[in-house]
Amino acid sequence: MRFEYAYRRSSSIADSVGATAMSFSPDTSRAPTFFRGELRKSLEFREAISALHEVVVSDLRWKPKDRGDYQAWLAQQQDLDLLAVADRRGQIATELEGLRGDLGAVQRRIAQTRASFDQARKRYFDYLYQKDRDAWFVLDPIITVHPDQIFFECFSQDESSYGRLAASYEVFAQLGERANGTTNVDYSQGLYDSFQKIRTYKTTRLEVDPSGFEVKTTAEEPFKEVKIDLPDTWVRGLLQVSSAMTLPATTIELHPMDVHNLCFLLRRRRELVGPRSLRFRLRPGQPLVIAIDPWGTELVCPRSRHDAASEQEIRVWGRRRLFVLERLIPLARGFKLFLLGTGLPTFWMADLGDLTFTLGLSGWTRNDWASASNFDLMATREDVDDDTRTRVFEALATRWVASVDEIAAAVGRERKVVASALGGWVQAGRAVYDLERGVYRRRELTREPLPIEELRFENPREAKAIAVLHEGKVAVAARDAGSGGVELLGRVRHRGEIVDVKVVMDADARVVAAECGCDFYVRNKLFQGPCEHMLAVRLAYRRGVSDVIEVGEKEKIRAARPLASAVSPSASAASPSPSPSTTTSTTTTTTTSTTTSTGVGVDGDLDAGEGEKKVGFWRRVWNRVTGKAPKAPPGEGG
């Protein structure tokens, strides 16, 4: 995605014996965004902004070794072996020796001719890496000024790590004029080096001024940076981060020493073989235990607390990205860890008093935020009309920061509808979710708003779900899942395939668990978001649509494995029938819905008396072996 930025001046930091002045010049082509203040907690700010730099330059992708020298040596050895064989052949030996001498002379002349070029090229790339490292990466952070704080956001080079530094205005001893807004900021190795000169005994001033992005140090030459391109994955990644933040998570309050011990154990030993994961073992009333693979080392954290209501184990990968937090441990009051689930993203939040640093990590290093993460599909999805969508954004724009309940009260709409509208604005790049305070903030990612029409479907599977709903048949019914949530049992027929689906949503209509019998779910689970069948079932439930699906004798049903227990006699007896609104809505469709005692309108195929027969143990075994759905063997289900 191509953008044009205009910076009026070169970057500089003015550093003297008693003071350091940092002046950030934003993109002058955007709405004026400026801020002036004198730092009161300069040490915390220096360490936090340095940790943000570690995120920017981080790249843990596997890089193949340069085997060029080895291949050249191997070729030379092969030539030597051939010469040795030729020597044993009598008269040819003398001839080959002469040719070898001539060849060696030619190679030496070539090496002498190229020596100056090779050395100059090596010095050039060494200089770029050491002195102008920003030439090696193009992922610049953005800065946002809000009524209550100023915050920076960035991505790593491999786009698997997200960093956010939020500084409340309590960090500043004095505040000057400011204008709220978002702008792009060039970030370089030179700027990072200038930050290291911040000291507690110096007065440090931070300025974001429309006149230019200046960073100048005494006795050093000024430099200027211009950025005109952003990768599509960079934009997509920021949108996915905010969507993932809104999902339910298991929260762990970590003591700084527990984080130190974890990093210490990872530093002390380096694994040579997999698995390279961390296992968070949570038991109610018991201390947190972190198991480190592949050695099986267990780190007990008695000073940390968690909110797990049941015993569980959550496994995550890409653990060496946690070294970004090492600089913050001496200054942190505590850490909060948000775990979405096994193989799903994690958020590490460092409490530095009036400063908060958030590190968002994808499920593993190669699974970056943009290419394989589709957490926007798991967020709240409700049908929102244009008027409500506009009013929701206007309410957020005037407040700059607000919770879902505050906006719902302001526009007079249901909480689910407002949450869905806000999720749409997040995907449009005009809002962001603040995980620390649980609120939404206005954040214009681009100078001109991204076109809403082009963002109707944020993911191809969402478009496929619409096609499934219109071209195929979807049978769905709901039952109470507790705490205001709902459990959907559905069956989808599309293009000759029949799939059973189970979706569990919380009180805010967010998908917290889901299972399906399709290939996409079998291969990826929820690591890449829900499949089109899950989305179609949720959409059909929201619209009150439930079709009759008749299953032929030779047709096979791809059932989600836990669905058998969900329709067992004991479960179905306790399951309430569908709500009257669902039954009434189905009468308006072109097909008539038949709803069983389990609440699934599939022409009685999942009745309580047939549950064990249709989705029993033998059927699942037979499906795995042959892919067919035979009659139950004698003694199984009658």
**Residue 246 identity (one-letter amino acid):** T
Q: What single DSSP character describes residue 575?
A: P
* Residue 615 and residue 584 share a domain: yes
> Is 269 inside any structural domain?
yes
**Last residue in a domain, options 361, 377, 393:** 377
* pLDDT digits 0-9 by tens, 324-357: 999 999 999 999 999 988 888 899 999 999 999 9
* Residue 468 and residue 526 share a domain: yes
* pLDDT digits 0-9 by tens, 434-493: 999 999 999 987 777 665 455 445 567 877 888 888 888 899 888 888 877 889 999 998
* Residue 256 and residue 188 share a domain: no
> Is 635 inside any structural domain?
no
* Residue 30 and residue 141 share a domain: yes
- According to DSSP, the β-strands at 161-168 and 172-179 are unpaired
> Is 67 inside any structural domain?
no
Contact 110, 153 (CB under 8 A): no
Contact 364, 61 (CB under 8 A): no
Q: Residue 408 is part of a domain; what is its CATH number?
A: 1.10.10.10
Q: Residue 289 is part of a domain; what is its CATH number?
A: 3.10.150.10
Helices 386-399, 404-411: crossing angle, 10 deg rounding: 120
* Residue 467 and residue 397 share a domain: no
pLDDT of residue 376: 55
| Cα 335 to Cα 7: distance, rounded to the nearest angstrom | 37
Q: What single DSSP character describes residue 327?
A: G
* Residue 395 and residue 497 share a domain: no
> Is 167 inside any structural domain?
yes
> Is 226 inside any structural domain?
no
* Residue 48 and residue 178 share a domain: yes
| Cα 178 to Cα 208: distance, rounded to the nearest angstrom | 9
HSE-up (13 A, CA, CB side) for residue 610: 12
**Last residue in a domain, options 448, 471, 505:** 448
Q: CB burial class (10 A; 0-12, 13-18, 19+) of residue 27?
A: buried
| Cα 396 to Cα 408: distance, rounded to the nearest angstrom | 11
Neighbours of 231 (CB within 10 A): 14
Neighbours of 70 (CB within 10 A): 10
* pLDDT digits 0-9 by tens, 476-507: 888 888 877 889 999 998 888 889 999 998 87
Sign of CA dihedral 169, 175, 181, 183: negative
Exposure string of 405-418, with b = 16+ CB inside 10 Å and e = fewer, is: ebbbebbebebbbb
What phi-psi label fits residue 66: left (phi over 0), alpha (psi between -120 and 50 degrees) or beta? beta
> Is 65 inside any structural domain?
no
Percent of the chain with pLDDT over 90: 25
* Residue 549 and residue 573 share a domain: yes
% helix, strand, coil for the chain, step of 5: 35, 25, 40
Count: domains in the chain = 5
**In Å, how far are 161, 342, 574 from 501, measured between CA atoms?**
33, 21, 20
* Residue 195 and residue 124 share a domain: no
pLDDT of residue 409: 94
Residues of the chain with pLDDT under 70: 1-13, 23-29, 62-64, 66, 77-91, 121-122, 124-140, 185-188, 190, 209-234, 367-383, 449-459, 508, 553-556, 558-638
* Residue 616 and residue 528 share a domain: yes
**Last residue in a domain, options 448, 475, 506:** 448
Measured in whole angstroms, the distance separating CA 244 from the mean position of its chain's CA atoms is 6
* Residue 394 and residue 367 share a domain: no
3-class DSSP assignment, residue 288: strand
* Residue 439 and residue 330 share a domain: no
> Is 7 inside any structural domain?
no
Find residue 251's DSSP bridge partners.
Answer: 338
**Residue 540 identity (one-letter amino acid):** A
> Is 509 inside any structural domain?
yes
What residues make up the domain containing 103? 82-135
HSE-up (13 A, CA, CB side) for residue 319: 25
